[in-house]
Structure 1
């Protein structure tokens, strides 16, 4: 049975847009690189073959066994220099020359020698935990002729900007999910209007009353219809108006998309990346809970995940944000860390963005989820988020 659990990191470019993702495979004590290849191969039917690169990291254990996986064109395999220069290096180099996957060299003390091997590297990756910002700038300049430079494990917005200014093509990390400004205690007028519409929908108010509230903000109405008509929603026909949306979808489904509109009122330059992440979390919680809760609760689980970044998106404290809305207790309890039946799913969704494989395995086991179920849910949620327009 597959015991290889994955976690994720997004890669952002200098415009703060998510342009790629990084999957880290956490191998258990007795797992081999063949197990990693099998885990990736099991995801072939749902792999998103888009223009966005997916970096694959197996840590220092990487060897030729990983090349048994038939990597999609948009996959880039991270290769530690030590793996290329060690005792098993010739086998790995031979496999790379045979299968020619997109390769990314993980820069370390032996990287200069690794760059001399007969393997073309499209990317050179630098772990920001191992180098100072000054060193990263120097290394980006010295290696630019070997491959595009990317920085990994960026911890702050300041470090992200310094890496971009220093010549990196992209940077990976969850730095943008932490508040970069001091939180306030009030919502903006635009946010207040969206909350008002949301509350009307939750109260099952007359459609005419909801439409009247939407007309106060034409941009909000436009964005709502754009989300509903996006590829991620998968409708067979285009929704032309809010009343049409109500007839086609009902208030329960519209509630989740109105929830996302709160993010559109954010002035944060990281808002698109935050919305992508919020949507991914919400969809991931839905997939993780499939068969474990009543279907009627799926929308609530989606909203729990999507609202997990509400404080960052709105620039207010989580309690203040929730006070403005009439959400079910189970959602509020999870978002405030008070427990409840949704909290285990939220905690697992958050752990999927970390680097603790044992914690992920433990939390998944508590919910009765296998590694394959967990990994598939992540890729499906990621594909869903990518299909949305921001």
Structure 2
């Protein structure tokens, strides 16, 4: 049985938009790169073949030619440590790269200069920011620009992200943007307050005329709502023309889901585009992970739990304060506040998928009865969903 789990990391550009994703392979004790290739190959039918690159990292595992048995899609970029190219098994790996010609990314280290002379074209050169100073990164980016686009990995803070961008990097990978960038505000801003009002009306199955009246107080909010509902990610067969039409087509439960997302769009955080993408991905991932384990009637609540897991960062207020303004089910609030409940295991697994502990991911998935393939497929499907919802 496949026991290869994958965690993810986003890559952001200068405009704070997610322009690529990075999947790190976590192998079990008895797995090798051939098993990793098989695990990746099993995802071919749901692989998102978009313009966004997907970087494949071997993580703590030894990278060898076995990984090249995977017929990598055009948007996949395989990260290659210099040691893998120059070691005893290097000739086999180089021969496989020359045969299959996947997009390659060189992980820069002390041996990288020598590895650049190997007859393999590199589209990207990646630098682990935990191993170089910002001054070194700026110098290295300039020196290697002719070999490939510079990518900064494992960026820890927003300040480091800006420094990497100013230093010549094309993109930076990390979860730095999910940390609050300032002290929590004392209250919601007017736009957020009005969305909460509409959201509460929908949750109470209020009169359509009252909800429409509240929506008219914020034309931008109404416009965003219709854009979300008519996006490719929603998958409707006809275009929704008005809020009343949306209620008739979707019902209050589904509409509540998308109004919940609108609350996040009122954020003034400069990292809002990346935060929204991540909120969508978390929400969809939780929904998919729980698909066969909870009643279908609760799927929207699971989605909202994941999407709201960044609500404090997006709104700039504390999580308790954000939740106090809304009348959400106890199961959602308990999970978001870390108080347990039936949704918390799914939220914890979704958060672990953004980390580096493969064993923890495997343990949490096993507790929910999920296989590695189910978990990995849910991740890619959630990624595709977030991409389809972008504007």
With normalisation by structure 2, the TM-score equals 0.99
Q: In the TM superposition, what is the alpha-carbon distance from 1:26 to its structure 2 partner?
A: 0.5
Instruction: Note the C-alpha offset of 1:58.
Output: 0.7
**What is the root-mean-square deviation in Å for CA atoms of aligned residues?**
0.6
Deviation at 1:185, TM superposition (A): 2.2
CA deviation profile, 1:275-321 (whole Å, cap 9, x unmatched): 01001000000000011000000000000000000000000000000
| SS of corresponding position for 1:368 | coil
Q: Deviations over 1:255-288 (max 9, x none)?
A: 0100001111111111111001001000000000
Distance 2:6 2:273 in 1: 24
Q: Secondary structure of 1:22's match?
A: strand
Structure 1 position 55, deviation (Å): 0.3
Figure out how many residues of one structure are paired with residues of the other and give that number.
390
How far the C-alpha of 1:29 sits from its partner, in A, is: 1.7
Look up the match of 1:76: 77
Partner SS state of residue 233, structure 2: coil
Q: Partner residue of 1:366? A: 367
Task: Give the distance between the partners of 2:239 and 2:130, measured in 1 at CA.
Answer: 47
CA distance in 2, matches of 1:342, 1:5: 21
Match of residue 49 from structure 2 = 49
Determine the structure 2 residue equivalent to 1:107. Answer: 108
Give the SS at the match of 2:142.
Answer: helix
Shift of 1:389: 2.6
**What runs of 5+ residues in structure 2 fail to find an aligned partner?**
none
Deviation track 1:220-267 (CA, whole Å, cap 9, x = no partner) reads 000000000000001000000000000000000000100001111111
- Distance in 2 of aligned mates of 1:151 and 1:321: 33
Q: Tell me what 2:4 maps to.
A: 4
Report whether the alignment pairs 1:378 with 2:390: no
Superimposed CA distance per residue, residues 327-357 of structure 1 (whole angstroms, 9 cap, x where no aligned partner)? 0000000000000000000000000000000
Distance in structure 2 (CA, Å) of the matches to 1:83 and 1:354: 24
Between the aligned partners of 1:258 and 1:188, the Cα distance in structure 2 is 17
SS at match of 2:152: strand
Structure 1 unaligned residues grouped into runs of 5+? none
Partner of 2:28: 28
Separation in structure 1 between the aligned mates of residue 186 and residue 174 of structure 2, nearest angstrom: 28
Deviation at 1:28, TM superposition (A): 1.4
Report Cα offsets for 1:117-162 as digits up to 9, x if no partner. 0000000000111111111111101110100000000010000000
Q: Structure 1 length normalisation: TM-score?
A: 0.99
Contact 2:79 2:104 in 1 (8 A): yes
Which ranges of 4 or more aligned residues in structure 1 deviate by more than 3 Å?
Answer: none
- Cα contact 2:128–2:152 (8 A) shared by 1: yes
1:383 Cα deviation after fit: 0.1
C-alpha distance in structure 2 between counterparts of 1:262 and 1:153, whole Å: 29
Report if aligned partners of 2:225, 2:258 keep a CA contact under 8 Å in 1. Answer: yes
CA contact under 8 A between 2:277 and 2:390: conserved in structure 1?
Answer: no
State whether residues 154 and 173 of structure 2, in contact with CA within 8 Å, keep that contact through their aligned partners in structure 1.
Answer: yes
